[in-house]
A and B are shown apart, each in its own frame.
Chain A
Amino acid sequence: MARRDRHVRPRPGLEGPSGPSRALFPGARRRGTPLNTDTPGPLDAAGPAPAPAPGDEWPATRAAILRDAAGIALTSGAYAVSCGAICTAAGLTVPQTMALSLLMFTGASQFAIAGVIGSGGAPLAGAAVAVLLGGRNALYGLRLAPLLRVRGARKALAAQLVIDETTAMAVVREDERAGRLGFWATGFALFVMWGLGNLLGALGAQVLPEPEVLGMDVAAPAAFLALLAPRMRGGTPWAAAVLASGTALIATPLLPAGVPVLLAGAAVAVLALFLRRAAAPSAEESR
């Protein structure tokens, strides 16, 4: 246990950009909290004396990072299973579901395209919503770029792994080497478990008789709600959520399925431009 206390545990959702890990694993914070609250940082653990040379600490730190990466990947398996199930219940084939898993590899966007297609929307409208939702990964990349310092093929590979969890696992580390290991270890472990979970869910949902009788049509909105909840801090997100859901519902009888969601996104973008106060949370996100 003493060994475990010496490293800084990542605090998903507490320090990451707008609660990234918690955004994908609503249970993660609860699981991690008891350890987080009283886990001293490396300097505290070392007492008043200066922290020991990184070399002494590194094997323990590395083991802890790998353990955390494996833990995140395993937790994500459950989320991946439901994502795969929702995709095939929405009418995507198993190869299409797996293409999303491997090529898109960003959970909320996968749910979004499946949700729009499942509710009878135009597939391209679903694609547009998914891409807009993936826009936040660009801001994560901005934070990760100075840490990873990758070029060429490594950059092309790293880019695919830039998501909520890898960012959270990288940016909470005090040491750059630890941050890089956190990013790559979490990225690879998650990519594998995410694919396996998606496949399992997709195959499982295929044998279900009628998705609607089983209530599967509410799985996507419930999943969105779990993704949304950690972001609802302060008045601005609530204003955006009310504006967006109101716009989408009013536009629904008038426009083809999927388009009202895009319209809601446009309304929120306009709101963001007019709200000066919204700068506060996003400035916090930038560092």
Chain B
Amino acid sequence: MIWYAVIAAAVGCYLFKLAGLSVPERILSDPRTRRIAALLPVGLLAALIATQTFVSADHRLTLDPRAAGLGVAVIAILLRAPFLIVVGAAVATTALLRLVL
């Protein structure tokens, strides 16, 4: 099942890339299309962050050490830390809290 998803998603992503190079400009330059394309990544990323931080394994809302890790990531981003530091700090915070609690 995972293989189907991997292949389907890879094909879908490729077709989007190809479409950009192939489709006549007027179709993709429709203002509504552009507005959706500009906002959709923001919405999807925000939803992914929320569900992967505040949802437990049994699909309930929860507040656990992941939230603290995410908070540390926010601080690291505000301090303009490089990508690896952002992720590393979040992971380390969560792991430490799990060790202590």
Contacts and interface: CB of A to CB of B under 8 A. Distances in A.
A binds B: yes
Interface of A: 18, 24-27, 29-30, 78-79, 82, 91-93, 96, 99-100, 103-106, 108-109, 112-113, 115-120, 123-124, 126-145, 148, 150, 155-156, 158-160, 162-163, 212-229, 231-232, 236-237, 240-249, 252-253, 257, 260-261, 264-265, 267-269, 271-273, 275, 278-279, 281-283, 285-286
Given A124-B4, A253-B61, A115 B48 contact: yes
A279 B72 CA distance: 33
Nearest to A229: B77
A216 B42 CA distance: 23
A109 B14 CA distance: 11
A208 B74 CA distance: 26
A26 B52 CA distance: 21
Given A215-B94, A226-B77, A82 B46 contact: no
A231 B42 contact: yes
A243 B45 CA distance: 12
A225 B38 contact: no
11 contacts: A27-B80, A96-B2, A113-B5, A134-B13, A145-B25, A217-B94, A228-B49, A237-B39, A244-B44, A264-B43, A264-B44
Interface residues of B, number: 76
B47 A260 contact: yes
Contacts of A265: 40, 43-44, 47
B46 to A, nearest CB: 4
A218 B16 contact: no
A97 B25 CA distance: 34
Contact of A26 (B17, B50, B61, B83): B83
Given A135-B40, A279-B35, A104 B61 contact: no
A145 B77 contact: no
Nearest to A236: B39
Contacts of B45: 108, 133, 224-225, 227-228, 231, 241
Given A137-B13, A225-B70, A126 B46 contact: no
B9 A226 contact: no
B20 A99 contact: no
Contacts of A136: 37, 40-41
B37 A282 contact: yes
A78 to B, nearest CB: 5
Contact of B42 (A112, A226, A240): A240
Contacts of A242: 46
Nearest to A144: B21
A33 B8 CA distance: 39
B52 to A, nearest CB: 4
Contact of A252 (B6, B28, B55, B89): B55
B45 to A, nearest CB: 4
A25 B47 contact: no
A251 B67 CA distance: 19
A269 B59 contact: no
A224 B48 contact: yes
A252 B51 contact: yes
Nearest to A275: B35
Nearest to A258: B51
Which 9 A/B pairs are nearest by Cβ-Cβ distance? A141-B20, A268-B43, A27-B82, A215-B94, A123-B5, A131-B12, A215-B95, A264-B47, A244-B43
B40 A27 contact: no
